[in-house]
Amino acid sequence: MQSLIAEGVDTVFGYPGGQIMPTFDALYDYMDKINHILVRHEQGAVHAAQGYARVSGKVGVALLTSGPGATNAITGIADAMLDSTPLVVIAGQVPAASLGTDAFQETDLVGVTQPLTKWSFQIRKAEDIPWAVSRAFFIAQTGRPGPVVLDITKDAQNAETEFNYEKCKFIRSYFPTPDTDPATVKEAAEIINSAKKPLALLGQGITLGRAEKEVQAFLEKAQIPAAWTLLGLSALASDHPLNMGMLGMHGNLAPNLKTNECDVLIAIGMRFDDRVTGDLNTYAKQAKIIHFDIDPSEVGKNVKPTVGVLGNVKLTIPKVARLVHEANHNSWIAEFKPLYEREYKSVIKKETEPTDGEIRMGEVVKLISDATGNDAVMVTDVGQNQMVSARYFKFKRPNSFVTSGGLGTMGFGLPAAIGAKVGAPDRTVCMFAGDGGFQMTIQELGTILQSQIGVKMIVMNNNYLGMVRQWQELFFEERYSFTTMINPDFTAIGKAYGIESRQVKKREDLADAIQDMLKDDKPYLLVVEVEKQGMVYPMTPAGTAVTNVLLGDE
């Protein structure tokens, strides 16, 4: 406990159980310093810690017991690893003498989590706790952030020890930020100066490095149009003139097509995920590629760059920016506009401003974004709701978007939104989920009830697992194998948990319901019955070229 306080921890998400009881007992004495949020399932604790970390920029902490408590946390740990979220997950373990005997609630948590964490360590002696905790926090938040697991045996929790805390600042085998080779900075600047049609790709490395201002200044100086990855959302204001929208499978038409037309591609803190690149053999082959990243193992992993600039983009981008000439690429930038207009006509208008038919997901998202002044934190679940939210929600400031990108974890939304609200209590937190994902962690409504966390939950119900249904329609000859859902009355469930809940079936009731939802800072469940067989367009089918964009109107 003292170690956690020494690291500045004031919020913990957890669930007690046999082998972590000594720590929870100690927590009882520190309730004035540490706000512990009791969740309803350990997966929820880890997702909440993720949501907390993503909006606050601090390390998220989850506290759980051994065995099933620990294995329930695995999904969240894997999610945090893929999305580079700083977490410290502390789990109880059977007493050291019982290790390896298949004792009650024993699992080899360190063994299981080694491939899913930055560092996973078992503490067997009380005197090792300060050392391991300080190391855990150092590792979780430095360099490319990620989850760390501490597995503490029950006897180590019980033993008394002299408390001597020294903050970890250095590990000789760990280089969080690689050295930047000045030659690569020079080469990158030269390539950018010679570019006629540059395109920048903005990833989460920018928000993790708190480099939003530096990147914006760099883009403005050389007038480089930019597009963001899913996790790069909110790294630049949505309405910035150089912001061309989102990349990837359900991204915007213009940046995807222009990826294969630009002459220089500048990737900043992103990892060329397959959902962004599509078929690598046809990806940006015409362009010189510059890759800025803090993680040397990402450079060249999926796309071989012409030059890789290692280091924190907060430092490397200004170095390159200094050498870059002011430029204008007006005619190149102008080429994006007609593509946007085409997408607007074919997709966006129908999705966000429909006048007839069932309610569309896009109009729900747009109305809520507008109603919050584009200044809310958006948390999403996974699937159509996620893609539509990412496409139509707008952002003014960074750290405003929380989603499960790499792992694509259904059920992420509700607990992550709880964590986000705890991490940013003064902001409005809107959670968008579908009827499928919402039911995967629906028990966390209990957490909202108990801790009165003012999350605005928007469930867009189409009684389908919509994204899978969309693939079945497009690629499986409309064979809707197990994607229809018979759902309960969600508002009745919300009310059972003491949460104000409202269902909307008609377009004309939508605006009023949203006003009602946003009237105060209390939790609210808004269930919107949306178009049953809605499709998310544009869409680039998996494994095909980025230019192979379906608009759904041909």
Shortest reach from residue 144's CB to other proteins, in Å: 9
* Residue entry with tokens 């007609």: 338
Closest CA to 149 of 125, 124, 113, 115: 113
The piece of 22-30, 289-297, 350-358, 480-488 that touches other proteins (CB under 8 A) is: 289-297
Q: Which helix (H) or strand (E) holds 293?
A: strand 288-293
> Least distance (Å) from other proteins to the CB of residue 117?
9
Q: Does 100 bind other proteins (CB under 8 A)?
A: no
Smallest distance from other proteins to CB 109, Å:
11
| Residues between 131 and 160 that touch other proteins (CB under 8 A) | 139
Choosing from 58, 154, 197, 456, which is the catalytic residue? Answer: 154
Burial of 263 (0-12, 13-18, 19+ CB in 10 A): middle
Binding status of residue 425 toward other proteins by CB under 8 A? no
User: Which of 190, 482, 228, 415 has the alpha carbon at shortest distance from 309?
Assistant: 190
For the chain, what's the residue count?
Answer: 554
Q: Quick one: 97 or 171, whose CB is closer to other proteins?
A: 171
Nearest-approach distance from CB 71 to other proteins, in angstroms? 18
Find the shortest distance in angstroms from Cβ 78 to other proteins.
Answer: 13
Long-range contacts of 93-98 (CB under 8 A, 24+ apart): 93/19, 93/66, 93/122, 93/151, 93/152, 93/153, 93/154, 94/19, 94/66, 94/153, 94/154, 95/153, 95/154, 95/155, 96/124, 96/153, 96/155, 96/156, 97/155
> Rule CB under 8 A: is residue 355 a binding residue for other proteins?
no
- For the record, the structure tokens of 379 come out as 């948390």
What binding mask, one character per residue, do residues 402-421 give for other proteins by CB under 8 A, x or -?
A: --------------------
Other beta carbons less than 10 A from residue 419's beta carbon: 34
Q: From the CB of residue 95, how many other CB atoms can be counted at a distance below 10 Å?
A: 16
Out of 40, 118, 154, 360, the only residue in the binding site for other proteins (CB under 8 A) is 118
Catalytic residue among 244, 361, 378, 467: 467
Round to whole Å and give the CA distance between 131 and 57: 23
CB of residue 299 to other proteins, shortest distance in Å: 9
110 contributes a contact to other proteins by CB under 8 A: yes
Side chain identity at residue 481, one-letter code? S
- Which residue in the block uniquely carries the two structure tokens 């480089």? 224
Evaluate the omega torsion of the peptide bond into residue 178 and state whether it is cis, within 30 degrees of 0: no
φ/ψ (deg, to 5) at 489: -80, 100
- Candidate list 28, 164, 166, 170; residue touching other proteins; CB under 8 A: 170
Residue 123 within binding range of other proteins, rule CB under 8 A: no
CA distance 128 to 125: 6
How do the residues of the chain divide into helix, strand and coil, expressed in percent and rounded to 5?
Answer: 40, 15, 40
- Output the smallest distance, CB 100 to other proteins, in A: 12
Select 118 or 258, whichever has its Cβ closest to other proteins: 118
**Smallest separation, CB 306 to other proteins (Å):** 17
533 in catalytic set? no
Instruction: Name the E strands within 400-529.
Output: 401-402, 429-434, 455-461, 500-504, 524-529
Active site residue 122: no
CB of 382 to other proteins, least distance (A): 23
Q: What is the DSSP string of 261-274?
A: T-SEEEEES----H
Asked if 182 touches other proteins (CB under 8 A), the answer is no
CA dist 302 → 144, 298, 299 (Å):
18, 8, 8
User: How many whole angstroms separate alpha carbon 300 and alpha carbon 544?
Assistant: 20
Window contacting other proteins (CB under 8 A); options: 35-43, 166-174, 225-233, 525-533: 166-174
- Of 420, 348, 349, 351, the closest CA to residue 380 belongs to 420
Q: How far apart (Å, rounded) are the C-alpha atoms in residues 554 and 542?
A: 19
Span from 89-97, 112-120, 212-220, 360-368 in contact with other proteins (CB under 8 A): 112-120
In the complex with other proteins, the residue whose CB is nearer, 129 or 192, is 129
- Reply yes or no on whether 42 is catalytic: yes
Among this protein's residues, is 197 annotated catalytic? no
Nearest CB to other proteins, comparing residues 35 and 114: 114
Contact 139, 148 (CB under 8 A): yes
Options 35, 114, 194, 452; binder of other proteins; rule CB under 8 A: 114
- Based on the shown chain and the rule CB under 8 A, indicate whether residue 119 belongs to the binding site for other proteins: yes
**Residues touching other proteins, count (CB under 8 A):** 20
Distance CA 68, CA 194 (A): 57
Q: Does 300 bind other proteins (CB under 8 A)?
A: yes
CB atoms within 10 A of CB 398: 19
Site residues for other proteins, 301-320, by CB under 8 A, read 301
In the complex with other proteins, which residue's Cβ is closer, 8 or 300?
300
Judged by CB under 8 A, the residue of 83, 106, 273, 295 near other proteins is: 295
Piece of the chain touching other proteins by CB under 8 A; list 115-123, 160-168, 215-223, 482-490: 115-123
Taking the complex as a whole, the smallest distance from the CB of residue 438 to other proteins amounts, in Å, to 33
Q: Is 475 a catalytic residue?
A: no
- Tokens representing residue 517 in the block: 């939802």
Give the nearest distance from C-beta 169 to other proteins in angstroms: 8
174 binds other proteins (CB under 8 A): yes
Query: Between 68 and 111, whose beta carbon lies closer to other proteins?
Result: 111
Active-site residue, selected from the candidate residues 2, 105, 223, 443:
105
Pick 109 or 324: Cβ nearer other proteins: 109
Task: Select which of 104, 163, 475, 476 is catalytic.
Answer: 104
Among 102, 115, 166, 486, binds other proteins (CB under 8 A): 115
| Segment lying near other proteins (by CB under 8 A), choices 76-84, 118-126, 202-210, 258-266 | 118-126
* Residue 111 C-alpha from the chain's centroid: 26
Residues lying near other proteins in the complex (CB under 8 A) are found at 110-111, 114-115, 118-120, 122, 139, 169-174, 295-297, 300-301
Q: Which residues form the catalytic set?
A: 42, 104-105, 154, 467
